[in-house]
Structure 1
Amino acid sequence: MIVTPPPVDGAEGHVAEMYRNDLASDGFVYSHTRLMAINPEAHDAFEALVQAVVPSIGVRNYELATLAAARAIRSPHCLLAHGRKALRAEALDEGQLEKVARDYADAGLSEADVALMRFAERLSTDAASMTDADAQTLRDAGFTDRQIVDIALAAGARNFFSRVLQALAVPVEDVPGLSPALTEALLSPLDRG
């Protein structure tokens, strides 16, 4: 990483809180956290956006949209981090998460879950050609106007965060709490051209 983040020792305010959270949960500060510590106001704004989206769609749908977007843009940082978050939030169990990581359309998910993930994936790969028909698939799956907007915001937010990490060549650390089989499944989209 070419940019220099604030040091852990002596960090203050929001930066100190960001670092403390990583240290408390995993014993080290992730490179992506260090990057965002360079602009803690942007980190705070990103977190506020996530907190504005989750209430209408729920943690499980947020994680599904996030995983689909991260998968589509081939973001190892976010695939691993949100695989772990999905497990910790009990949004998916390890076996189902492994199936979702490999092929969400054939993972035993509901039609609504697949529609959500397909929408997030399309937003991440071909947003310019999306039409009302794409949002209609979410409506047909039972999502409200607010939820449709928040699903788009969740996927769009993941694109923002993941692409910043990719653009600045932020190193990818091992994420504690993931089995080797699950880690391999989460990273399997990176093996596809």
Structure 2
Amino acid sequence: MTIIQTPDPEDATGDVAEIYAKDQRDLGYVAEYTRVMAFNPEAYRAWEQLVRAIIAQLGVRRFELVTLAAAQGTRSQHCRLAHGRKSLAVMDADDVEAVARDFHDAGLSEAEVAMMEYAERISTDAASMTEADSLRLRELGFTDREIVDITLAAAARNYFSRAIQALGVAVEVPPDLGDSLRDALLAPL
């Protein structure tokens, strides 16, 4: 449990109230990670702008696949749950569950698997990466812009995941996830 004392939704004002209201509209509740990160609303808004800029070029499906792989690499149950749920906008629950259990055996294209391996590696061992890692993506048809955006998406997930982990934010299970999908997203990483 985090030590950060955040305002309750009914007591929030200004930018924090707006950030909370977005979660309320999108999720039906205000997530604990939102409450903590909205403590600095300027940074939270900058974070959201960065994510929108990446998604605008990469697309939602690729962004969510990269995010799930990066969250796996950081062992972030918070982000696996949140983005497993968000992935349902572009994939059906069985496909998201298969990705969560083992993206290598989830019926993804070779390019998508390579993209996810790259994102996971950024989250586990970026210091040892070389141009060979990026060249593999290029060989599979990714443009330089897409390689940069994949990298930015994984690095951005690392920022957010590590911040909420370090701040001791409680892991919340979105109430609208099915049991099987929830279990796959919470499986030991």
State TM-score, norm by structure 1. 0.93
Instruction: Give the aligned partner of residue 87 of structure 2.
Output: 86
Q: For 1:150 and 1:27, locate their aligned partners in 2 and report how far apart those are by CA, in whole Å.
A: 30
Instruction: Give the aligned partner of residue 60 of structure 1.
Output: 61
CA deviations over 1:2-21 (Å, ceiling 9, x no partner): 11123322422321111112
CA deviations over 1:79-106 (Å, ceiling 9, x no partner): 000000010x22x211111111111011
Instruction: Give the aligned partner of residue 174 of structure 1.
Output: 173
Instruction: Give the aligned partner of residue 157 of structure 2.
Output: 158
- Runs of 4+ residues over 6 Å off in structure 1: none
3-state DSSP of counterpart to 2:9: coil
Q: For 1:152 and 1:181, locate their aligned partners in 2 and report how far apart those are by CA, in whole Å.
A: 30
Instruction: Give the aligned partner of residue 149 of structure 1.
Output: 148
For 1:77, the aligned partner's letter is H
Q: For 1:30 and 1:186, locate their aligned partners in 2 and report how far apart those are by CA, in whole Å.
A: 17
Counterparts of 1:74-153 in structure 2 under 5 Å? 74-87=75-88, 89-90=89-90, 92-153=91-152
Alpha-carbon offset, residue 25 of structure 1: 3.2
C-alpha contact 1:6 1:37 (8 A) present in aligned 2: no
3-state DSSP of counterpart to 2:141: coil
Question: Which structure 1 residue ranges, 5 or more long, are not aligned?
Answer: none
Question: Percent same amino acid at aligned positions?
Answer: 57
Question: Which structure 2 residue ranges, 5 or more long, are not aligned?
Answer: none
Q: For 1:83 and 1:15, locate their aligned partners in 2 and report how far apart those are by CA, in whole Å.
A: 25
C-alpha contact 1:104 1:114 (8 A) present in aligned 2: yes
3-state DSSP of counterpart to 1:9: helix
Whether 1:51 and 2:52 are equivalent positions in the alignment is yes
Q: For 1:84 and 1:21, locate their aligned partners in 2 and report how far apart those are by CA, in whole Å.
A: 16
3-state DSSP of counterpart to 1:174: coil
Instruction: Give the aligned partner of residue 185 of structure 1.
Output: 184
CA deviations over 1:134-190 (Å, ceiling 9, x no partner): 0011111111111100100000000000001110110111202210100001111xx
Total equivalences in the alignment: 188
State TM-score, norm by structure 2. 0.95
Alpha-carbon offset, residue 35 of structure 1: 0.3
Instruction: Give the aligned partner of residue 15 of structure 1.
Output: 16
C-alpha contact 1:26 1:176 (8 A) present in aligned 2: no
Compare 161-170 and 9-18 and name the one that shifted more.
9-18
RMSD: 1.1
